Structures are given as structure tokens and as C-alpha cells.
Amino acid sequence: MKTDPSFIMAAAGTVLSAAWIMIFAKGYRKYDEITSVKAARELKLNGIFHTGFEIMKLLRINTGSGKFAEKRRNAVEIYGERYAGFYTYLFTGAQISYAALCLPVSLLSGAAAGSPVLGLAGAAASVIMLFILDSDVKKKVSEKHDAVMCELPDIIMRLTLLLNAGMVLRDAWNMIAESSDTALGKEMRQTGSDIRNGMSEADAFEAFADRCRTREIRKFSGSLVQNLKKGSAGLSACLEELADEQWEEKKNYVKKKAAASEQTLLFPMLMIFVAIILMIIVPVFTNMM
């Protein structure tokens, strides 16, 4: 006897819904301190996040393990080293919450509509929910990299001018950091704070490169660390050369971004062109018939 797919989806959806309700009740109000932070409130359906945290607890999911290393690195860039672990935990719980809600709802909807395709599509959507917040964080990281890339040549040039004027590296660094409210300026202020709190300049500059994670920043940081070890006599000349190189890098980068933007706009423009042609040709052929 052939089993009806709708019955299977209905049974699976009912079991998963019952499990979801029990987990929801078990975790209710237990994670209010986490779900009350601003980042959680900005996400949709934040009232169900405790289900995700409870599932993580039941399945013993450890966001401090190596499986979540890339997610933590992205969190470091956006939220800083101090809070990276917390936001990794928060976003993982949110993703699991979305997936855990989407799956039973999709199965029950597919069963009600008598459409296995709808149920399978919903199941696929629940899997996608496990990754959707990661794409948002990666987008923020990419935007930060873009901002850093555009600002870096000017920062290096200003630092070179201050050093040539006789200012020591630490004071010049802090002056530029305090006068800039950009993504790079904020990272520079964090570096200045690290040095004031007792971290060596070399370690602070290396931590600065780790937070920004771009090839250009690593080269800039490496130049600073290397000249600190050798002595600051040739630092200005090294930075001048690096500034010229970064200006060229920026020009090439802007050209690539402009070319990418043109390609992105090409398809919508083509669709508009086709629509206009159809609006002209269809009435003509209609009148001829």
C-alpha cells in the first residue's frame, strides 16, 4: 500500500511542532539577558531565540569550537575581540531558532496544501536559515574592508607628515585616531587604548591587523612593527613609499568596483530595454492583424 506524502508531512510536522512547543516552554524567559541586547532586538522574531539557545544546550553545540572559527573572526571585525564570542553565540541561536520554526510550519503547510514540493521547499528554506545571518555579517565585513581600503592611503600620508614634523609614532597615531570617526579610525583608537592599557606597541599593531584582516592593513602594520624593532629612523621614508603604493592600490580598487557596478546594472538595463521594445512592437503587430 502506497503511503500518501501529505500524511507523512503532516505526521512529521506534528511531531516537530510538539517538540518545538516543549522546547519553547522549557527555555521561555531563561535567556532574557541575551535577547534584550540591541543586536538581538534588531533581528526579526527575537522572541523565539530562546528556542535556539535551548536546542544548542540539548545538542551540546559549542560556539567556541573550531567549527565556528570563521564566524568568530567575522564577529571580531564587527563587534571586537571582547564581544566576538557573545555575538557568535547570539547569531547561532537565532539561526537555529529560525530553522526550527520554519521546518514544522513548512511541512504542515505542504500537507495542508497537498503539495510535497511546498514541504520540500520549506525544508530547504529551513536549511538556508542556518546560514542567512552569516551572509549579513559577511556583508558588513566586506563593507568595512571597502571603507578601510579607501581610507588607508590618506591615513598613512597623514601619519608620515606628523612623523616628519617631529611627532613620535604613538602621539601621531592617537592624534589621527581621535580625529577620525570612520571604521579605520575606530580601530586605531582601539589600538591606542590597548597601548595605554599596557600592551606593547608591536603587539597592539599586530592585533590591529588581526581585527581588520586585509592584506593592505597587514602590510602597514608589518612595516610599523618592523621599524619599531629596527628603530624609527627610516619609518617616515618607509611610510612614504607605502603611501604611494596604497594610492595606486586604491585607484585600481576603485576601477574594479566601478566595473563590477556596471556589470551589475547591465542586466536590469537589458530587461528595461526588452520591456520597452515589447511595448512598442506588440501594439504595432496588434494593429496589423
Residue 6 contacts residue 97 (beta carbons within 8 Å)? no
**What is d(CA 278, CA 272) in angstroms, rounded to the nearest whole number?**
10
pLDDT at 255 over 80: no
Domain boundaries along the sequence of the chain:
5-143, 146-257
- The whole-number pLDDT of residue 57 equals 93
Q: d(Cα 233, Cα 168) in Å, to the nearest integer?
A: 11
Provide mean pLDDT across the span 174-191: 87
Q: Looking up cell 539577558, which residue turns up?
A: 33
Q: Is the pLDDT of residue 245 over 50?
A: yes
Q: What is the mean pLDDT of residues 152-176?
A: 87
- As a dihedral over the C-alpha atoms of residue 134, residue 140, residue 141, residue 143, rounded to 10 degrees, the angle is 140
Indicate if the pLDDT at residue 265 is higher than 80.
no
The pair phi, psi for residue 253, each rounded to 5°, is -65, -45
pLDDT category at 210 given cuts 50, 70, 90 is confident
Helices (H), 42-182: 49-59, 69-79, 84-113, 116-164, 169-178
The per-residue pLDDT for range 44-56, each reduced to its tens digit, is 888 899 999 999 9
The predicted model gives 91-117 an average pLDDT of 87
pTM of the model: 0.70
Residue among 98, 112, 97 at smallest CA distance from 9: 112
- Class of the 146-257 domain? mainly alpha
How far is residue 220's CA from residue 241's CA, in Å, rounded to a whole number? 11
Q: How far apart (Å, rounded) are the C-alpha atoms in residues 106 and 104?
A: 5
Instruction: Name which residue leads in pLDDT, 278 or 221.
Output: 221
Mean of the per-residue pLDDT values for the chain? 82
Using CA atoms, how far apart are residues 76 and 88, in angstroms rounded to an integer? 9
Residue pLDDT, tens place only, 78-90: 887 778 889 999 9
pLDDT of residue 54: 94
Would you state the pLDDT for residue 288?
60
Give the chain's length.
289
pLDDT recorded at residue 1: 40
